[in-house]
A and B are shown apart, each in its own frame.
Chain A
Amino acid sequence: MVRFVIDGRSVEAEKGWTVLETARHYGIEIPTLCYMEGLTPYSSCRLCIVEIIRGGRSRLSASCSYPVQEGIEVRTNSEKVRRARKVIIELLLASCPNSRTLQCLASKYGVTKIRFRPEDRGCILCGLCVRMCKEQMQAGAIGFANRGTQREVAMPFHSRSEECRECGACLYVCPVCELPCPGPLRPGQLCNSCLDTVQIEAFPSKD
């Protein structure tokens, strides 16, 4: 067993677990978008970042792929984590303004303003669909095309591939292709209607 500390609590984890798995095992909440049990961690959304203190040095790391290590200290909700997480949610919302999942995350983590230029692209490129298609459905019909700000999920050469069995697993795992959030009307607006009901400080903060 590997012993370490999460948010001031001593925890034990099996060797080979990730920090995220251990936190969830103990009921400590860490938000995720591109993570799903049964799929290879991809660490692209960066929402699950936590502060990891090792050898006296603190740095932010994605908990979904960070393997547990003896003696580390993990802070899932420190000031540093909260601040970075808010900016990431803000960035995601600018690229998918009407996603219900993202709007709810915004409310939960106290994002009350989007300071960035919204541009609705209907996809946050979390890659869940790509991994689902390849790893679980064994099809590999979709993948990423292009790079940088031009990156997109696509079939090869943008034409329908025979590999696709239209199973719909990609739709099933997508965190943003859903009924739009009923709250906001224009891109860039925030719903925040659940802001009063969610206690952001519900988790112990250790700074």
Chain B
Amino acid sequence: MVRIETPAALEELRKNLADERRRYERVLILCGGTGCRAQGCNAVYEETRKVFEELGIQDRVALRYTGCHGFCEMGPIMIVKPQDIFYTRVKVGEVRDLITKTLLDGEIVREKLYVDPRSGDACLTMSEVPFYKKQVRLLLGMNESVDPKNIDDYIAIGGYSALSKALFRMEPEQIIEEVRRAGLRGRGGAGFPTAEKWAATRRARSRDGIKYVLCNADEGDPGAYMDRSLLEGNPQLVLEGMIIGAYAIGACEGYVYVRHEYPLAVENLYTAIEQAREMGFLGKDIMGSGFDFDVHVSIGGGAFVCGESTALMASIEGRLGEPRVKHIHTAERGLYDRPTNLNNVETWANVPVIINMGAEEYAKLGTERSKGTKIFSLVGKIRNTGLVEVPMGISLREIIFDIGGGMPNGKRFKAVQTGGPSGGCIPEQLLDTPVDFDSLYDVGSMMGSGGMIVMDEGTCMVDIARFFVDFLCGESCGKCVPCREGLKQMLYILDDITGGQGSPEQLEILQELAEVMRDTSLCGLGQTAANPVLSTLRYFGEEYREHILERKCRAGVCKALVSYSIDQDKCTGCMRCKKACPVGAISGEKKKPHHVIGEKCEKCGICLEVCEFQAVVRK
């Protein structure tokens, strides 16, 4: 690897790399994100390599093993360029056939294309797939072009040109001004204006001149994985953002705080840092500009609360990961008591894009007060599970129904949870809410880091509130009383309600407790911990009352409140339910109506699913 000493050297290298890549007739891209790996893409990759060697086409066709393409539901994904043929759910056994037909014979294997369930049409290319149509993939779109373990790929698509521009053609203040005009707001959840934070850290005086920039990759919201995919798929982009930020702020050292539960992200990050150092993008005298900056990796121990800024800094310092009061901002006294700027992975990744695009162009995307795109992980009861990157201001309905494809199995939509444990559940009547920082806050939820959990009619909202409270009981640091004790008492109350022991007074206690927690907790985790409860009380209060007054769970989730029986008139005695019941709780002979044995029944609902005569009744 050559060390880049001037902007011209970088540009020349980029040209050479791009030319080199043009020599290949075609490129076969395999998604190697964690989602696809879970579905066996490592084996697919190995098989592809073997077939390439056997056929002797490795000199003509480039093979690229990349980060996440977003459409995790359909993984492992294979793309063949330049035609952009988009194969889904590729299995090891099919690789040879796919390669010979597509690459040698020039045929398209129609069975492996994505079929739009609405129209029934097969989609030949990625851009035809409805999942991608409404997306604006500013950041994630780069994943397809980059092998995360190879910095050359990143440079070939223009990587580090933003850094070169920032270092040699912009003053630090100009960079901050550019980010301000772009309207970038923190993607970690709260949406604080990034440029304000940078400017405050730049202004702050450090006793020995040391300032830090940190990258928060401690993503921990249930169901959220966009930061992981960015770090796994394109770590250089995040690093470039950090270096530009450090230059703008005047920082000399940086840390990426990443969860140890993200082994692939950690591995790719280490490789990326090493390569960036070798090429002179990190370390002393970056690109010959005289600016020094280096990045370290700090691996989290698995505490959700360490995503909170002061807890994160305590954890990097090796202290107990608990938040402190922030009367003095971390921009003045943060890590090791020096001025510190902390941004989320996605925020950093946006920085090179802004510098390259220019603030005006970037600010055209999004709404008045929320600019750019946001990545969401669309999970839960949704047809197209995956990562979507959309312009701010798109409606929840568009994300869930146009991109996400709606509910599977013809079920009815009930709510969507955004913002993780700090967010809230948004009901059907608010589906046209635009997705931006302020609108989501106004409806009692928040943007959060980008988790979007879709729920259908089979989801009990009290049970969902209970799930998040239970999650936070284990993830609160336990320092302050309202959060620690409040969450515990909240869980007891929700246990009572879902267990059929609730009383109407408990609803008032829940409401009061939630408000006190919001007003008096020490950090953001505690202050927002009650949001899942508050928002479900607000929009689904009826369900709470049903649980308490009628001892009824309309979704049939709360086991204490449901019972199963068999309609004697409808039952044909086919024995299906009897065979399917895992605990032997159904009695009856062939061709005679069956019965549920109440005391044995575990209320799993399998009998209901297997019965073809609608004879099983859940009350």
Q: Do the beta carbons of B303 and A147 come within 8 Å of each other?
A: yes
Which residues 29-86 in A have Cβ within 8 Å of B in the complex?
42-47, 49, 59-60, 62, 65-67, 80, 83-84
Cα distance, A146 to B305, chains bound together (Å): 12
Q: Do the beta carbons of B477 and A49 come within 8 Å of each other?
A: no
Q: Do the beta carbons of A148 and B492 come within 8 Å of each other?
A: no
The chain B residue sitting closest to A89, CB to CB, is B481
Query: B529-561 CB contact bits vs A (8 Å, 1 = yes)?
Result: 000000000000000000000000000000000
A47 surroundings in chain B (CB, below 8 A): 481
A80 surroundings in chain B (CB, below 8 A): 519
Given A44-B522, A147-B477, A148-B473, are A88 and B516 neighbors across the interface (CB < 8 Å)?
Answer: yes
Q: Do the beta carbons of B485 and A43 come within 8 Å of each other?
A: no
The chain A residue sitting closest to B495, CB to CB, is A117
Q: Do the beta carbons of A44 and B480 come within 8 Å of each other?
A: yes
Interface status of B509 (Cβ within 8 A of chain A): yes
Q: Do the beta carbons of A62 and B522 come within 8 Å of each other?
A: yes
Q: Do the beta carbons of B520 and A147 come within 8 Å of each other?
A: no
Of A42, A59, A125, the residue contacting B484 (CB under 8 A) is: A125
Q: Do the beta carbons of A46 and B476 come within 8 Å of each other?
A: no
Which residues 445-490 in B have Cβ within 8 Å of A in the complex?
472-482, 484-489
B476 surroundings in chain A (CB, below 8 A): 147-149
Cα distance, A87 to B481, chains bound together (Å): 10
Chief secondary structure at chain B's binding surface: helix
B320 surroundings in chain A (CB, below 8 A): 143-144
Q: Do the beta carbons of B522 and A46 come within 8 Å of each other?
A: yes
B328 surroundings in chain A (CB, below 8 A): 67
The chain A residue sitting closest to B491, CB to CB, is A149
Cα distance, A98 to B443, chains bound together (Å): 42
Interface status of B278 (Cβ within 8 A of chain A): no
Q: Do the beta carbons of B520 and A88 come within 8 Å of each other?
A: yes
Query: A90-119 CB contact bits vs B (8 Å, 1 = yes)?
Result: 011011000000000000000000011100
A59 surroundings in chain B (CB, below 8 A): 519
- Number of A-B residue pairs having CB atoms within 8 Å of each other in the complex: 101
Most A C-beta atoms less than 10 A away, residue of B321, B476, B479:
B479
B481 surroundings in chain A (CB, below 8 A): 44-47, 88, 91-92, 124
Shortest Cβ gap from B219 to chain A (Å): 18
For chain B, the bracket of interface size reads: 35 or more
Q: Do the beta carbons of A91 and B486 come within 8 Å of each other?
A: yes
Interface status of B327 (Cβ within 8 A of chain A): yes
Of A87, A117, A148, the residue contacting B478 (CB under 8 A) is: A148
Cα distance, A84 to B521, chains bound together (Å): 11
Q: Do the beta carbons of B482 and A67 come within 8 Å of each other?
A: no
Interface status of B1 (Cβ within 8 A of chain A): no
Interface status of B325 (Cβ within 8 A of chain A): yes
Interface status of A186 (Cβ within 8 A of chain B): no
Given A65-B327, A148-B474, are A91 and B489 neighbors across the interface (CB < 8 Å)?
Answer: yes
A44 surroundings in chain B (CB, below 8 A): 479-481, 522
Most B C-beta atoms less than 10 A away, residue of A46, A65, A80:
A46
Interface status of B512 (Cβ within 8 A of chain A): yes
Interface status of A150 (Cβ within 8 A of chain B): yes
A24 surroundings in chain B (CB, below 8 A): none
Interface status of A9 (Cβ within 8 A of chain B): no
Most B C-beta atoms less than 10 A away, residue of A62, A87, A92, A125:
A87
B475 surroundings in chain A (CB, below 8 A): 147-148
Interface status of B513 (Cβ within 8 A of chain A): yes
> Can you list 5 pairs linking A and B with CB atoms under 8 Å apart?
A44-B481, A92-B485, A125-B478, A149-B473, A149-B476
* Chain B residues within 8 Å of A, Cβ to Cβ: 303, 305, 320-322, 324-325, 327-328, 472-482, 484-489, 492, 505, 509, 512-513, 516, 519-522
What are the 6 tightest A-B residue pairs by CB atom distance, in nearest-first order?
A151-B478, A91-B485, A87-B516, A116-B489, A148-B476, A65-B325
* Chain A residues within 8 Å of B, Cβ to Cβ: 42-47, 49, 59-60, 62, 65-67, 80, 83-84, 87-88, 91-92, 94-95, 115-117, 124-125, 127, 143-144, 146-151
Q: Other than the known A62-B522, A151-B477, A151-B484, what 7 A-B pairs have Cβ atoms closer than 8 Å? A: A87-B516, A91-B486, A116-B509, A117-B489, A117-B492, A148-B484, A151-B479
